[in-house]
Amino acid sequence: MTLQMIQVGLNIEEIAIIYSVLPFVTSVMPPIAGMLADRFHCYKLILIVIVASVAVFHTSLLHIDARISAEVQSSGSDFETPAEIFCSRLGAVLRFENYTRATPAAAAAAITGKCGRSTGRRRSAGRWIAMECRPGCSSASRTATARKSRPDRRPCWKWTPCSSCRRLFLPDDLKIRITYSFFTMYTRKEKLIKQITALVTVTLGGTATFASLCIWNGNESFYSDYVMPFTRRLDPETSHKLAVFAMKHCLIKKQVKPDPESIATRLWGMNFSNPIGLAAGFDKQAEAMQGLHRTGFGFVEIGSVTPEPQDGNKKPRVFRLDEDKAIINRYGFNSEGHEAVYSRVKMEGEKPERAVIGVNLGKNKLSAMEDVGDYVDGVKKFGAIADYLVINVSSPNTVGLRGLQQKNELENLISCVLEARNNLGVTKLPPLLLKIAPDLNEEERKDIANVILKEHCRVDGIIVCNTTTSRPSDLKSEFKDQTGGLSGQPLKDISTRCIGDFYRLTGGQIPIIGVGGVATGQDAFEKILAGASLVQLYTSFAFQGPPIVRRIKRELDEILRSKGYKNISEAIGKSALSS
């Protein structure tokens, strides 16, 4: 293609246009490929075709300047212009100069102004000005006269501007000669190296652009086939930090399409665009709330947050059970403390568009377990800025913490925390929720239900449930015996049964947020049927990435419609009441 263009008379203006268009073409083709892939769900084929075409196109045009500036060794010229100098000057004009600005003075200086010719002999270049000048051009007549008077004059291989038209022209015979000799510029090895380098550069650049676009758009297939398998090769805690970084910097496209009306709900005087929330444990330091909201979550729970900063347990403290689609963690309430988290939550709360934000409150390791002061301090600190507060007494990674779920200790804790909440002096008091463990026997569940139904201990909701210390016998992963809380698919049925139990024990009077093993719209629907008003997920988000949020909402909407429910509120507790 390039050779044919040169043979028909490619001039410097045409070359400049090609070089100005080429970067634009190579930059827009991968994004266009991404949009086509997202539209037609055939991103693999489109990626290969686009990257290959861009690479071939770029490689073919890479050496235009070298081809048209090849050294002419037997031209009979009255001076010699080394190809390397000519090539570098031409390349400077085409690649690094605005051609409009460079014509003709800058271009003439760059290409012909410093060729080593004497001042006297440089004037002979005028006889090679082309004859396409506009009528009345004095240079045209002078050139014609010069050719007639000195027909034996040897050609001068320089480009010069026409003094009247201010344009640069390339002699026709120069183009012909160079067409025949362009292969002399590089050896075969040098040319191959340059072409391979160009091919690799464009391929990697196009692939990176395409991948970035797919990540930005939240392409489900791309995440499942490439992004998540890559993150699973990383250390689990490193992968967690990388995900928080991506959400913190909003490296995913904001959901523009509104959620279906069928999954919208209202609870505690707040409107939830959808019932799918992110459980505590992902955004422990309140760094990524805006990015998580953009992902499509109806609400985001941060923490657990402790009054004083603490590092948590020693590493390694997170284990990924790939075969079981589960995670075991023993973080141990690693937190930057109330002050650091408070400033971020307050800043997020001042934004016009934000998610419903819950703050999960925990205890410091060094605090006495029977002391409720850490929770009271948390309520006082975050009560005015959080949409809801969670008292976490069910983490298995803080020694003695689950003892606060015992009847007497729990009643004392809730009464003290409720008193602190009621004395905040704010216009709207935040709902107070209690997060409980799944590893409770029937008697302990009844005790908790009786406590939270008492007038002076009546919480606004419960979160069922936290991670479990039990280990199902069918776990396959090599990390199954690690200590810590187990979450993910093995917890799904345990959690659903626990939700149903508390819905029956409380008579449906206490709203429930169901969490544990939610990975599909069907999982969320089962939690709602068991008695959950809202649903949270975490482990499935770690395994499948941001696209899971949209997919669960889409599937939940389809299930509700197929079952004849106009809204999720109509399905809450249906299976619990019938069992």
Are 556 and 453 within one domain?
yes
Give the CATH number for residue 384.
3.20.20.70
- Domain membership of residue 318 (yes or no) is no
User: Cα angle vertex 38, ends 33, 40, to 5°?
Assistant: 90
Are 175 and 280 within one domain?
no
Domain C-terminal end among 122, 155, 184 = 184
Q: Which entry of 395, 487, 495, 540 is annotated as an active-site residue?
A: 395
Domains in the chain: how many in total?
A: 2
Are 266 and 180 within one domain?
no
Strand pairing class (485-488; 326-329): antiparallel
Are 268 and 154 within one domain?
no
Crossing angle (nearest 10°) for helices 43-61 and 12-40? 170
Domain C-terminal end among 149, 184, 219 = 184
Are 275 and 130 within one domain?
no
- Domain membership of residue 299 (yes or no) is yes
- Domain membership of residue 205 (yes or no) is no
Distance of CA 283 to the CA centre of its chain: 16
Report whether the peptide linkage leading into residue 430 is cis, meaning its omega lies within 30 degrees of zero.
no
From first to last of its 579 residues, what are the pLDDT tens digits of the chain?
A: 233 223 333 444 444 455 555 556 656 666 666 666 666 656 566 666 666 666 666 555 544 443 333 333 333 333 334 333 444 444 443 333 333 333 334 344 444 443 333 333 333 333 333 333 344 444 444 445 554 554 444 443 334 444 444 444 444 443 333 332 333 334 456 656 766 777 777 777 777 877 888 888 888 888 888 888 889 889 999 999 999 999 998 888 888 889 999 999 999 999 999 999 999 999 999 999 999 999 999 999 998 999 999 999 999 999 999 999 999 999 999 999 999 999 999 999 888 888 899 999 999 998 887 789 999 999 999 999 999 999 999 999 888 888 889 999 999 999 999 999 999 989 899 999 999 999 999 999 999 999 999 999 999 999 999 999 999 999 999 999 999 999 999 999 999 999 999 999 999 999 999 999 999 999 999 999 999 999 999 999 999 999 999 999 999 999 999 999 999 999 999 987 776
487 is catalytic: no
CA distances in angstroms from 413 to 373, 385, 389, 442, listed in the order given = 9, 22, 14, 21
- Report how far residue 81's alpha carbon sits from residue 94's, in angstroms, rounded to the nearest whole number: 19
> Please, what sign has the CA dihedral across residues 20, 23, 24, 25?
positive
Are 176 and 301 within one domain?
no
Q: Range of 452's domain?
A: 260-305+338-468+489-578
What beta strand segments (E) does 356-499 contain?
A: 356-361, 388-392, 432-436, 461-464, 485-488
Are 270 and 180 within one domain?
no
Residues sharing a CB contact under 8 Å with residue 523, sequence separation 6 or more, in sequence order: 492, 517, 552
- Domain membership of residue 332 (yes or no) is no
- Domain membership of residue 66 (yes or no) is yes
Give the count of beta carbons closer than 10 Å to the beta carbon of residue 147: 13
Are 282 and 151 within one domain?
no
Report whether the peptide linkage leading into residue 562 is cis, meaning its omega lies within 30 degrees of zero.
no
Are 157 and 21 within one domain?
yes
Strand pairing partners for 278? Answer: 300, 537
- Report how far residue 478's alpha carbon sits from residue 405's, in angstroms, rounded to the nearest whole number: 32
Give the count of beta carbons closer than 10 Å to the beta carbon of residue 196: 11
Are 152 and 285 within one domain?
no
Domain C-terminal end among 130, 156, 184 = 184
- Domain membership of residue 84 (yes or no) is yes
- Report how far residue 124's alpha carbon sits from residue 360's, in angstroms, rounded to the nearest whole number: 85
- Domain membership of residue 129 (yes or no) is yes
Are 177 and 275 within one domain?
no
Are 273 and 168 within one domain?
no
- Domain membership of residue 145 (yes or no) is yes
**Tokens coding 417:** 């925390």
